[in-house]
Amino acid sequence: MASPPPKLRWPIFMALALVALAIRLPGLGDRPMHTDEATNAYILGQVLAGQPFHYDPVDRHGPVLAAFTLPLVKLEGVRKFSEMSEAGLRLAPVLAGTATVLMWGAGVELFGFVACLAAALVFVFAPLPFYYQRYFIHESLFVAATLGMILAGGQALRRHSVMVAGLAGFCAAIMLAAKETALLHFCCLALAGLSVCLRLRRDQPTGLRVTPRMCLSGLLVFTVSSVLLFTWFGQNWGVFGDLIRAVSNFTSRAAGEGHEKPFWYYAKLLAGGWSGATLLTLAVMGTGLSFFSFGRGHHPGAQASPAEVTGIPSAPMRCGFCIYGVAIFLLYSLIPYKTPWLALNFWPAIALMSGVAVEWFWCSHLKLLHRVFALALLILLGAFMMRDSWQRVFVNPASAENPYAYAHTVEDLLGLPRRLAELCQTNHLTDPRIAVIASDPWPLPWYLRQYEQVGFWQPGQDPGPADFFVTSPEAAEKMAGALSHYRPEYFGLRPEVLIILWAPESSRPETSKSP
């Protein structure tokens, strides 16, 4: 299938991006805030309060999420942490996911129209990107920047453009300022690029060329952008020591720290649901086709891509993307530390390789009956993807049965702020003092953000007097004497984790909850 001209191609990908945006916006604030989302919101609240972003090498990430979300919440009229909303914060990853879909339009010149169209459709409807592109964490921005770097790098090689090389450097800086694991991706991308270049030089010289000016442009933009972001535009020059300390921290964290999973964890996660196994099979097929076609021209029936018209076959570009995808998948699988949202890092390669397989099915079977059958199978796969997305994104977004809802806040916690409001009204308290005693209280800072006098203590510490106490069961045992005149009400925090609200005995007991 010949690629349509840009004036027709871009409206197609813009329409897909708008579809992605439209289906990601409904109910954006309904799912409870995950601990990581609440932590990121608290950091953004500090920036809103006038503090420069301070990079914390212990269990935190870079400034990109805060930098991207800050103007969005300001446009919403938010002035402080207590005024934030779930939907307002999650709009940032939604927009990043929408941009990722649109970017596949720029990939047509490198990978072919059908492959990129199928990849965009996978990003629009597949459950895993759908779910985590509504999550206020760094992954959606990281994946968008990764795809942007690959596309810009490929275009720079094709056009020998200094400007586009600078754009690739900027995307690389966004990657690093989003998550420190960008270093792993840089290594895998370098491996892919080196493998392709060596093969091309040996077997089929092309117009692919890296010039010193291109390297200098990309490196200069990367360095300047990274410094500006990490120093929060020159306000925090002590960040470089923190970055050095982050290396040892993330090296030790890779060992697991309670998040250890077996090697096959990601493969099992990706193959789950009605659509997972089929989509993963397509990706494996596309991987094989990409390796096989490298240096062999087109597969039967395929049309030349724009890249091939200009003398650079799409097969090397596809093979490079394939090598990167396989390398990053194996690397993440080998690292003991695993969480489901990290699987979003594989999705650009999975989407494109699935698109390569779809292209092969479509272009290698020219008979009408064969194409009708192939189209019916693709529609069925799309229906399966939409069913899985509906179940995991809208029906059971925080359920323990949802493999994407990892250590997620349970919906029962949403009753805690409502109950506190009732108790304040009953006791005629307009500014209650609330003491939270728990070793891991997140995401309670988010759900108690409306109250000015909220303090947090570790179990065993003395919080002093308070109108209400919120404790873990372990903390309650240690302060049984101080809680003798309070009655407990139990709420779920995370699966199999309880939190206890202690209200004065004078409050009405009829609405209290039991375990």
Please write the tens of the pLDDT for every residue from 420-442.
999 999 888 888 999 999 999 99
Nearest of 359, 295, 353 to residue 324 by alpha carbon: 353
pLDDT at 204: 54
pLDDT at 307: 42
DSSP 178-194: H-TTHHHHHHHHHHHHH
Is the C-alpha dihedral spanning 429, 433, 438, 443 positive or negative?
positive
What distance in Å separates the CA atoms of residue 96 and residue 88, rounded to the nearest whole number? 14
Question: Hey, where are the domains in the chain?
Answer: 6-247+285-395, 411-504
What distance in Å separates the CA atoms of residue 39 and residue 35, rounded to the nearest whole number? 6
E strands within 100-196? Answer: none
- pLDDT tens across 394-417, in order? 999 999 889 999 999 999 999 999
Is the C-alpha dihedral spanning 132, 134, 135, 136 positive or negative?
positive
Nearest of 34, 29, 69 to residue 398 by alpha carbon: 34
Q: What residues does 434 pair with on adjacent strands?
A: 454, 468
pLDDT at 194: 85
- CA distance from start to end of the chain: 62
Question: Residue 375 to residues 358, 365, 381: CA-CA distances in angstroms?
Answer: 10, 11, 10
pLDDT at 365: 65
Query: Is beta strand 453-457 parallel, antiparallel or unpaired with respect to 468-471?
Result: unpaired
pLDDT at 378: 86
What residue ranges of the chain have pLDDT lower than 70? 1-2, 59, 200-209, 252-258, 294-313, 365-366, 507-515
The angle, 0 to 180 degrees and rounded to 10, between the axes of the packed helices 347-364 and 368-389 is 160
Cβ-contact 445, 46 below 8 angstroms:
no
What distance in Å separates the CA atoms of residue 214 and residue 168, rounded to the nearest whole number? 10
Nearest of 4, 38, 251, 241 to residue 109 by alpha carbon: 4
